[in-house]
Amino acid sequence: MNIMKKKALQVITLFLIMLMPIGAQQKSEEIIEKPEHYEADWESLRKHQVPQWAQDAKFGIYAHWGVYTQSGAWEHTKRNWGNYYITGYKGYYSTKDSDEQRQLFEKHIGDIKDGVGYKDMAIQFKAEKFDPVYWADLIEKSGAKYAGMCAVHHDGYLMWDSEHTDLCAGKTGPKRDVNGELLAELKKRNIKTIASFHHGRTVKHFEGIIKNLKKDPRFTKADLLNEDYYNYYWYLGGRERFTEKRLAITKEFIDKYSPDVLWFDGGGGKYDTEKILSHFFNDGLKHNKEVCVHNKGNFGKNFGLYSYENGHKRPSFVDWPWEDDTPSAEGWCDWQWDKNIEYKKSEDVIRRLIDLVSRNGGLLLSMNPRPDGSFDKGQEDLLIGIGNWLKQNGEAIYASHPWTIIGEGHMEDLFFTQTNQGNGALSRKIQPNTELFDWTDIRFTTKNNILYATTLGISPNSKVLIKSLSKDVNISKENKIESIELLGHGPVKFKRDKSGLHIELPKTLPNQVALSFKIIINGELEKRKELGTNDVIPAQT
């Protein structure tokens, strides 16, 4: 390109940018200034920004599924609490003969003292009913815009076929690349892909186990103490070896599957995490796509898309892209399947999603597959129910933005705790308590100069009153509503006075969960003022 043509193109580009709204100008400038290569240091990594598609997605799905799921069918005398099942290996290798986890492990797998261990439990994880096409179909029906599965949990078992360890689905257990198969099916449906990595905590977990095993001479044959099994237990042998292996297996995953989202549970600033992030960002550049990292307090403030586990420690409004991460099960920490599992109801998850989106957030829902890779009916009903509502009302959710007013009704003090029925212990404080929501709760979102008002319940009357939209509230310079449409139905009659906006409901409602009203405004809708950078991010737990 000669100099004259290049200058002409620059002038045209600048002119087009000047015609855009301020926000769009900023986004264009960000794209123009995107680095050509990311270095493995925070000065370079912090130039990466959350892509617009990740902010617009609002709803994603992944799954906690692996070797640990096997124990969900065992004869536990107490319900899962905290991470009792998913980190069961802490009990399997316990030196206390009275430990129920070890007793059940010995019954179903074998004796730790004889060298039987987690590698042998992995053999029983067959995933014989895993069907990636069915998984992807169900995810697509749910309305999720990005999806995947837990690539590796704290146990160190990799859910793909790895060249770096035998403790992986490709070599021990299913002998299938289950993660790769699912991501391939999701990509066929143009669903963005996510992989969560929880292995930043693995080394610390097993260091404690090994310390206890070495103290007891009865466990000298334990496989974790035998270097011959390091081909399985890649995380043993010291922090230096762990760091080397963690980097290798994570880069391997990125190179093989090129996911759109990486989500980390622990490990921020440790174990060559900067090298992993730079490799991931550069993979996005290589494939000419925008990628995203979820930040669970791992990487400091103002980096990636914040992730709050069950809304723990989340402010009521965060002026930065974020999502809440929660299991499909009712229990606050029931991330994996067990035979006593109880699933959330779709209406509760829908109302939760509406509330989060109005506050500038989104929802990442974790599925609870059975050990064989199939799903309980409760899991299927949950996902399909969410999808049915989103198919009808998604325009009020996807790619929307919070309004100057978040909503009305139950707006604060939505934290609650769950109680362990066995010993009365309380969970951490989580949110929101969807049992508080009813038809008087309204949440607002905006898109393309349209205001959406969604109820978190169904009015027992023939009308809906939205107090926040009274005539005294300036919704635009003209302060006039042109028309209102009930999504899934059509135009509805309304009246606006000093007490609020009164909307007449049709005799037959489009759904019995939450009603979304599309409100067309005369003039430019009032915009939410930017609050500035929010310093509050989730703490590592």
pLDDT of 538: 60
What phi and psi, each to the nearest 5 degrees, are found at residue 366?
-100, 130
Residue 118 pLDDT grade (very low, low, confident, very high; cuts 50, 70, 90): very high
Across 10-23, average pLDDT: 37
Q: What is the pLDDT of residues 383-438, one digit of tens each?
A: 999 999 999 999 999 999 999 999 999 999 999 999 998 889 999 999 999 999 99
Q: What is the pLDDT of residues 446-477, one digit of tens each?
A: 999 999 999 999 999 999 999 999 999 999 99
Residue 9 pLDDT grade (very low, low, confident, very high; cuts 50, 70, 90): very low
What tokens were used for 247?
A: 């980097």
Q: Does residue 306 register a pLDDT over 80?
A: yes
pLDDT of 186: 98
Q: What is the pLDDT of residues 352-393, one digit of tens each?
A: 999 999 999 999 999 999 999 999 999 999 999 999 999 999
Across 28-37, average pLDDT: 62
Q: What is the pLDDT of residues 148-168, one digit of tens each?
A: 999 999 999 999 999 999 999
Q: What percent of the chain has pLDDT over 70?
A: 92
User: Which residues have C-beta within 8 Å of that of residue 426, sequence separation ≥ 6?
Assistant: 417, 418, 419, 420
Q: What mean pLDDT, rounded, does the chain reach?
A: 92
pLDDT of 106: 98
Query: Which residues face 519 on adjacent strands?
Result: 451, 484
Q: Does residue 226 register a pLDDT over 80?
A: yes
SS3 for 15-56 is HHHHHCCHHHHHHHHHHHCCCCCCCCCHHHHCCCCCCHHHHH
Distance CA 529, CA 448 (A): 17
The secondary structure element, H or E, covering residue 490 is strand 490-491
Q: What is the pLDDT of residues 248-269, one digit of tens each?
A: 999 999 999 999 999 999 888 8
Query: pTM of the entire structure?
Result: 0.92
pLDDT of 28: 36
pLDDT of 537: 60
Q: What is the pLDDT of residues 325-338, one digit of tens each?
A: 999 999 999 999 99
Q: What is the pLDDT of residues 36-82, one digit of tens each?
A: 999 999 999 999 999 999 999 999 999 999 999 999 999 999 889 99
pLDDT of 199: 95
User: Which residues have C-beta within 8 Å of that of residue 40, sequence separation ≥ 6?
Assistant: 272, 274, 275, 277, 278
Q: Which domains does the chain have, with CATH numbers?
A: 3-33 (no CATH), 52-87+125-375 (3.20.20.80), 407-522 (2.60.40.1180)
3-state secondary structure of 240: helix
Across 284-305, average pLDDT: 95
Q: Does residue 110 register a pLDDT over 70?
A: yes
Query: Which residues face 486 on adjacent strands?
Result: 490, 517
Distance CA 421, CA 432 (A): 21
**Other beta carbons within 10 Å of 433:** 16
**Do 33 and 299 meet the contact criterion of CB atoms below 8 Å apart?**
no
pLDDT of 78: 86
User: What strands, in cross-sheet order, belong to the sheet with 463-466?
Assistant: 463-466, 500-504, 494-497
pLDDT of 539: 52
